[in-house]
A and B are shown apart, each in its own frame.
Chain A
Amino acid sequence: MSATAPGHAGLRQTPAAPAGKASRGRRSALLAPVTAGVIIVLGWQLAASAFAPSYIARPLQTLREFPAVLGDGQFLSATASTLLAVLEGLVIAVLAGTAIGLVMGRMRGIDRLLRLYVDSFYAMPLVALVPLLTVWFGYTPAARLAVVVIEAALPIVYSVAEGGRHLDSSYIDVTRAYRAPWWRVWTGVALPASMPYLLGGIDLAVGRALIGAVVVEFIAGLNGLGYYILFHVRSFQQDKAMVAVCVLVVFALVLRRAVGAAVRRGLPWYQGT
């Protein structure tokens, strides 16, 4: 395959940065957040040591607790319980949310029926519904899953519906001009075209799913990171609780980065527009 084709103006590619400059760039990119982190941690340590009673969490104590907590069977099972529930809920939310969002975005009638409810539930603090849902589902993992699914599905439905509504009419012209059957318009055009919107929705959904899981664990006392945190705060072992909080933060970050990486791999054409 020749690299040049006749009569063309050339492929557009982003030029590779020279190697030395790239690694220096990475190092200086880390410098800022690390510096900020050190300042925050230092400030926290000093303020807590000076003004706070001994059971308030301090960064140095928290760090010391890390190995013990991470090795604790109870902690690990709590982590697994929360994270699996969040992942399961996210998968369900993505599948159901995309389907509902697409239908809403492409079918005016259904959009008119559902839009008010989607917008309202999306805007409200869903955690207000948790006490109700734990009564309906009981103090069970099912309640947590239900909350995670609802919390995650809403931004996905909202975003995908937006995508569906703004589908470029020229794509539809193409599908009509080339006589594509209706189902191909959904799977071959509406769905891929809504991917960028879907990804925006997933980004929001991750955070909301974690909140939902943790809140249900607080209220229902389910085995999970939320309950672990609550228990240890109330038993004056805040440093252990902080370890759990850090794990939640890391998980959220990793999940969002993973979604971004999956995008770059799976959707090479998506240029962040």
Chain B
Amino acid sequence: MIGVKGLTKQYGDRTVLSEVSFDVAESEIVSIVGPSGCGKTTLLRCVAGLTVPSGGCVTIAGREVTEPPEGVGMVFQHFGLFPWKTVFGNIAYGLTVRGMSRRAIEPRVRELISLVGLEGFESAYPYQLSGGMQQRTGLARALAVEPRVLVMDEPFASLDAQTRDLLQLELLRIYQQRPTAMIFVTHSIDEAVLMGDRIVILNGHPSQVHDIVDVGIERPRERAVVDSERFRAVRDYLWTVVMTGGGTPAQPGEGRDSGHANEPNQPTSRKDAK
């Protein structure tokens, strides 16, 4: 569904991303992790069409992305809700700007309000909502446009730990109901493993794909998954790589173009590498 090929981005003399390549299959969740400032957000913006790459390209459903394409729903770290619109108005935004009639919008938005658990708050303004509720609104807004791809830029980073845990599970639940290709940038290694089917690790100056790890945990995922051996193994591997810059990257020919997992001493990957 999403193809990133040789993506490179420069700002003047500074190269932020260099030859980043990976794929995201239909209904697959790919997490992107890496140290702070490594260009994860830049990468995401290129995928969403908000930033134009300096080199390489992004394709969604086979079409090259040069500007924000149809069928992409974006969720922002700081929610990005319009303070002057109600919850209903914000969720409906993607549909309103398409010129959809109020009659057509209403049932869709109401269904989404139910889905994200905001019944009763249709007429509330963002200032009246907690952070978790605001991000639920942001998520509903992204889902309203019936996206083929969900692009999420550290969606839970602005929330307190408890709300964050809660919304992670909420998102997993929603994903079970509406599987969508997702690209999910996060600072939290635990979150990356919990949410993702595969994890792209960015590293270096300029950032490159250090490795792509197959999480290999079945869905649906519950909170208990966090205690499984597999989870811990993947997390520990990621920690080593991201925090200390250690760990062996995939052999040339693996990992980068084929997305083969670098297995941290576990039996072979459950999912076929792409």
Q: Footprint of B on A, CB under 8 Å?
A: 1-13, 170-171, 173-181, 184, 188-189, 192-193, 195, 267-271
Contacts and interface: CB of A to CB of B under 8 A. Distances in A.
A179 B163 CA distance: 30
Given A5-B121, A178-B94, A179-B70, 20 more contacts: A2-B120, A4-B120, A5-B120, A5-B133, A7-B166, A10-B130, A11-B124, A11-B130, A171-B80, A174-B76, A174-B80, A174-B93, A176-B68, A178-B97, A188-B82, A189-B82, A192-B82, A269-B84, A269-B126, A271-B127
Nearest to A13: B128
B127 A171 contact: no
Contacts of A7: 117, 132, 166, 170
A220 B118 CA distance: 62
The dominant DSSP class at the B interface is loop
Q: Which 9 A-B pairs have the closest CB atoms?
A: A180-B97, A9-B130, A192-B84, A177-B74, A269-B125, A178-B94, A174-B80, A1-B120, A6-B117
Contact of B130 (A12, A268, A271): A12
B225 interface: no
A176 B66 CA distance: 12
A193 B83 CA distance: 8
B84 A173 contact: no
B72 interface: yes
A266 B117 CA distance: 28
Contacts of B151: 177
Interface string B122-164: 0011111110110000000100010000010000000000010
The dominant DSSP class at the A interface is loop
Contact of A173 (B76, B127, B133): B76
11 contacts: A1-B119, A5-B119, A5-B133, A6-B117, A8-B133, A9-B133, A171-B80, A171-B82, A174-B82, A178-B94, A178-B145
Contact of B84 (A13, A177, A267): A267
Contacts of B230: none
Interface in B139-197: 141, 145, 151, 163, 166, 170
Interface in B65-101: 68, 70, 72, 74, 76, 78, 80, 82-84, 93-94, 97-98
Contacts of B130: 8-12
Interface of B: 48-50, 68, 70, 72, 74, 76, 78, 80, 82-84, 93-94, 97-98, 117-121, 124-130, 132-133, 141, 145, 151, 163, 166, 170
Contacts of A9: 130, 132-133, 163
A181 B50 contact: no
Given A174-B80, A179-B97, A11 B128 contact: yes
A3 B163 CA distance: 20
Contacts of A10: 130
B97 A177 contact: no
Contacts of B72: 177
A181 B82 CA distance: 17
A10 B132 CA distance: 10
Nearest to A3: B120
Given A1-B119, A5-B117, A269 B127 contact: yes
Nearest to A4: B120
B229 to A, nearest CB: 29
Q: Which of A12, A179, A180, A184 has the most CB of B within 10 A?
A: A179
Contacts of B84: 192-193, 195, 267, 269-270
Given A8-B117, A180-B97, A269 B83 contact: yes
B172 to A, nearest CB: 14
A130 B121 CA distance: 54
A195 B83 CA distance: 11
B76 A181 contact: no
A1 B117 CA distance: 13
Contacts of A11: 121, 124, 128-130
Nearest to A175: B97
A176 B50 contact: yes
Contacts of A271: 127
Contact of A2 (B68, B98, B119, B132): B119
Contacts of B121: 5, 11
A273 to B, nearest CB: 9
A12 B129 contact: yes
A180 B94 CA distance: 8
Contacts of B141: 178
A171 B163 CA distance: 24
